[in-house]
Amino acid sequence: MDNRVTVGIHQPNFMPWLGYFYKIWQSDTFIFLDDVQFIKTGSSYTNRVAINISSQSNFITIPVKRGSGVQNIDKTEFINEKWKKKVIGTLQANYAKSPFFQENRELIFELINFKANSLADYNIHFIETISNKLKLNTHFIRSSTFNIQTKSTQRLVELIKKVDATIYLSGKGADEYQEHDIYKKLNITIKYNKIPNFKYKQTKTEEFIFGLSIIDAIFNIGFENLKFHLFTHSKG
């Protein structure tokens, strides 16, 4: 019996894409990196995501307040609530004819209308709700729970040790930034999250558009098909 614990660590993204949930599925424990700095200019995946708009990948973005100093994700607030109505209207216009839109619109619109005190609270509520619908048996925890002050790799390994994990599930793109010697010294194995080449029929496009919010899959194939096709692969 393998008693090793796999941990995934990621910022709480806004209505994330399928790969984010695949990472959750592979993790025994998933840590939301909620007490790190929100970018000072532009947008990140914590407040924007791509959906299918007029047969193309286009971003929808949450407008947020920006302070003058360091501002963490769990302290970042919305400018107003008006954007929610706009996002719902955009989804209605582009997904109304999708096969599973009517079945899932109430849930998704309720999640969009959810009132939260911070960007982190809002995104985590969405992610945990969708994960529960997909029956992903992963334990969630926030990095802010531990009040760790270190940065970069040292911060990650401290989080990994806090949850007694021995396997760290990392994104492949982060490999060049990893300080491998630190992981090795602490007997932590790095495993890379690689989502299967999973495609499904999307409304209004013949050519599959990668990287869209999980909402695209929910409206096009529904939760049961998504569970069956994406989460039936071995964790290996």
| DSSP class of 128 | H
For the ranges 59-63, 173-177, 184-188, the maximum mean pLDDT occurs at: 59-63
32: in domain: yes
| Single-letter amino acid, residue 189 | T
pTM of the full structure: 0.93
Q: For the chain, what percentages of helix, strand and coil (3-state, to nearest 5) are there? A: 40, 15, 40
| DSSP class of 71 | -
93: in domain: yes
Q: Closest Cα to residue 63, out of 14, 126, 109, 127?
A: 14
- Model confidence at 233: pLDDT above 60: no
- Domain of residue 102 covers 6-230
Q: Closest Cα to residue 216, out of 86, 49, 84?
A: 49
152: in domain: yes
157: in domain: yes
What integer pLDDT is reported at residue 151 of this predicted model? 85
pLDDT band, residue 178 (cuts 50/70/90): low
Q: Are 98 and 204 in contact (CB under 8 A)?
A: no
DSSP string computed for 41-69: SS--TTTEEEEEETTEEEEEE--B---SS
222: in domain: yes
Q: Closest Cα to residue 221, out of 202, 207, 196?
A: 202
Per-residue exposure over 169-203, b if at least 16 CB sit within 10 Å of its own CB, e if not = bbeeeeeeeeeeeebeeeebeebebebeeeeeebb
- What total of structural domains would you count in the chain? 1
Give the tens place of pLDDT for each residue, 46-71: 999 999 999 999 999 999 998 776 78
1: in domain: no
235: in domain: no
Give the tens place of pLDDT for each residue, 188-231: 999 988 888 889 999 999 999 999 999 999 999 999 999 998 88
User: Which own/partner contact pairs does 64-72 have at CB distance under 8 Å and 24+ positions apart?
Assistant: 64/38, 64/119, 66/38, 66/40, 70/37, 71/37, 71/38, 71/40, 72/34, 72/35, 72/36, 72/37, 72/38
172: in domain: yes
What integer pLDDT is reported at residue 118 of this predicted model? 95
